[in-house]
Homo-oligomer: A and B are copies of this chain.
Amino acid sequence: MPHAYETDGAAIYAESFATIRAEADLARFTPEEEPVVVRMIHAAGLVGLERDVEFSAGMAEAARAALQAGAPILCDARMVSEGITRPRLPADNAVICTLHDPKVPEMAKAMGNTRSAAALELWRPHLAGAVVAIGNAPTALFHLLNMLEDPACPRPAAIIGCPVGFVGAAESKAALMADLPAPALIVRGRLGGSAITVAAVNALASRKE
């Protein structure tokens, strides 16, 4: 006997988002932020995530405006760059992940850092006005913050900083909100990851649900 299940993608999205809006406490988010948080909860399958989500003032507006204006999206991992839904991008924005550039392993060795961090050095030509999406490596977010301590380093328009895990994730995200070199969105603590980061990008790229 075949299993019967909902096979209509639009209906699945609608029911999922309705469930999230019924269960999650979204009252503290602005109308610009709320659909972003809903999509992040959706990607994680986790109502309660909203308690750890934090936007700096105006971040959602800044990210949306940058994407509308054609900003590239700089990703720390291929799981992030591959997850971004291209038809949602408002200006056929470039999606860039430099992690697998053949220069990176040698750069990492020379820097005494991870490949995830070293790969960000290759972001420099794209960084001015970009939307940054870090969903994997705390070392990448820490290295970005250190790069941006140099006033000569180009500024991104917005930073989604959602690395995940047990070493450096909470600390790097707290440092991002303390430094605030650009408008930022984080998930405080250990939670984060590529799916949550992708969801934020996809929600900021288009208001379509």
Interface residues of A (CB under 8 A from B): 1-3, 5-9, 12, 15-16, 19-20, 42-46, 78-79, 82-83, 112-115, 117, 138-139, 142, 145-146, 149, 164-169, 171-172, 175, 189-195, 198
Contact = CB atoms under 8 A, between A and B. Distances in A.
A5 B191 CA distance: 19
| A-B pairs, 5 with minimum CB distance | A45-B190, A45-B164, A16-B166, A7-B113, A2-B146
A2 B172 CA distance: 12
Contacts of A12: 114, 138-139, 167-168
Given A5-B172, A45-B191, A113-B7, A19 B166 contact: yes
Contact of A43 (B46, B115, B193): B193
Nearest to A81: B82
A192 B3 contact: no
This chain: how many copies in the complex? 2
A56 to B, nearest CB: 18
Contacts of A9: 114-115, 139
A120 B1 CA distance: 19
A164 B79 contact: no
A16 B165 contact: yes
A16 to B, nearest CB: 4
Given A3-B146, A45-B193, 12 more contacts: A2-B146, A3-B172, A3-B175, A5-B172, A6-B139, A7-B117, A12-B138, A44-B191, A78-B82, A78-B83, A83-B194, A164-B195
A191 B7 contact: no
Contacts of A164: 43-45, 195
A82 B79 CA distance: 6
A193 B192 CA distance: 12
B169 A138 contact: no
